[in-house]
Amino acid sequence: MAVIGGIMVPHPPLIVPEVGRGQEILIKDTIKAYQEAAGMAAELKPDTIVVISPHAVMYADYFHVSPGKKARGDFGQFMAPQAGEEAVYDEAFVRELDRLCGEDDFPMGTEGEREKELDHGTLVPLHFIHQHYRDYKLVRIGGSGLSFAHHYRAGRYIAIAAENLGRRVFIVASGDLSHKLRGDGPYGYSVQGPEYDERIMDVMGKAEFGELLAFSESFCEKAGECGHRGFTMMAGAMDGKAVMPRRLTYEGPFGVGYGICTFRVTGDDDGRRFLETYESCRKKCFRQGRGFLYPSTGAALCGGASGPYRRCAGMLRRKSYRTR
Ligand SMILES: [Zn+2]
């Protein structure tokens, strides 16, 4: 077995007591679920933990993997420089990922490092994981402006590298949900905010990973989410695998959605190769002139109930259901 499981977790800095100074009590359900998720990571005893963080170095058309031997970071930016974490990078894993992507000319690798310090999207999950487990090496990957399908594909390279090296790999998809849940929240309110959160919790809670590809990019942007691409990369890392999901918690008292789900890989399942399904659907729709694509980005149009994508979304959904 290579990729053995993963978690979807948020990264509010104030969840760390030194930053929150008492405010963290308002998200105590999230804290409890985070401990449980971190406990699951520890129980699976991974050799390598891959953290996908939207706050690591991010390029429009490239997935940056952090190079080097190790890194540390702290919450100085959030007035708590005394709280920090350190981790040793899995250099062999990074090399293998670099090699695989180089061979395929896939835009992922260690070029263009700008910020060595661990970002808060990485620090928050490590804050919890380190309370349970330290016997692992880290791989840190940033998101990109590329399509959801690209992110899924990037995840598949993580799985191939894990297999080639015989590593037990655990994936942490670090991402907040909508930032637009409340008028008094940091980015105000938008109707797409709560709608996104409800949809993503449903999709992730059932591990219906094909659905991730069916969200439209403009809908996600209006919802102001930060984790969708990372969740999609994690899904790609579990491509073709049977997955046991658990939905642990959801809350958003500050106007930002925090959701936690855990995923255990339980075996193989060819019915869960979602990118193939997505791409054959896409081609078919395109041929039939149903306007499936934004020609410039290749991004899917609306996956809503009445959109032209409905039939494809339905197919992807059925693929997911089959395994439960
Ligand atoms: Zn974020």
DSSP letter for each residue of 2-24: -EEEEEEE---GGGSHHHHTTGG
Within 10 A of 197 (CB to CB), how many other CB atoms are there?
24
The pLDDT of residue 1 is above 70:
no
Q: Give me ligand 1 centre to Cα 252, in Å.
A: 14
Please state the rounded mean pLDDT for residues 106-115: 92
Q: What is the average pLDDT score of the chain?
A: 89
Return the pLDDT at 113.
86
What's the Cα-to-Cα distance from 252 to each of 19, 185, 216, 217, 259, rounded to whole Å?
18, 10, 23, 22, 9
Is the predicted pLDDT of residue 299 greater than 70, yes or no?
Answer: no
Tell me the CA–centroid distance for residue 226 and ligand 1, in Å.
5
| Pick from 133, 79, 144, 146: nearest CA to 296 | 146
pLDDT of residue 262: 98
Cα(287) to ligand 1 centroid in Å equals 37
Q: What is the pLDDT of residue 286?
A: 65
* CA 11 / ligand 1 centre spacing (Å): 6
In the predicted structure, residue 169 carries a pLDDT above the cut 60: yes
How remote is the CA of residue 12 from the centroid of ligand 1, in Å? 8
Ligand 1 centroid to residue 299 C-alpha, Å: 22
Summarised one tens digit per residue, pLDDT across range 121-148 is: 999 999 999 999 999 999 999 999 999 9
Name the β-bridge partners of 86: 72
Residue 110, pLDDT score: 95
C-alpha 256 – ligand 1 centre gap (Å)? 10
pLDDT of residue 309: 40
Three-class SS string for 177-243?
Answer: CCCCECCCCCCCECCHHHHHHHHHHHHHHCCCHHHHHHCCHHHHHHHCCCCHHHHHHHHHHCCCEEE
- Residue 160 Cα to ligand 1 midpoint, Å, equals 27
Mean local confidence (pLDDT), 41-66: 95
Q: pLDDT band for 313, please (50, 70, 90 cuts).
A: very low
Ligand 1 centre to CA of 282 (Å) is 30
* Percent of the chain residues topping a pLDDT of 70: 87
The CA 274 to ligand 1 mean position distance, Å, reads 26
Whether pLDDT at 152 is above 50: yes
Dist. CA 320 → ligand 1 center (Å): 27
Kindly tell me if the per-residue pLDDT of 197 is higher than 90. yes
- Work out the pLDDT band at 222, boundaries 50, 70, 90: very high
Give the pLDDT of residue 306: 34
Domains, the chain, ranges and CATH?
3-269 (3.40.830.10)
Question: 154 CA distance to ligand 1 centroid (A)?
Answer: 20
What's the 267 CA to ligand 1 centre distance in angstroms? 31
Written as six digits, the tokens of 314 are 């339905």
- 255-278 confidence digits (pLDDT tens): 999 999 999 999 999 999 999 888
Kindly state the greatest CA–CA separation across the chain. Answer: 59
Q: What is the mean pLDDT of residues 289-316?
A: 40
Tell me how far the alpha carbon of residue 55 lies from the centroid of ligand 1, in angstroms: 6
* pLDDT of the residue at 229: 97
10 C-alpha to ligand 1 centroid (Å): 8
- Residue 189, pLDDT above cutoff 80: yes
Number of other residues whose CB lies within 10 A of the CB of residue 131: 13
pLDDT score at 66: 97
More confident residue, 96 or 58: 96
Span 85-103, pLDDT tens digits: 999 999 999 999 999 999 9
- Distance (Å, whole) CA 53 – CA 142: 5
Identify each DSSP E strand in 70-167 by its residue range. Answer: 70-75, 80-88, 108-109, 137-142
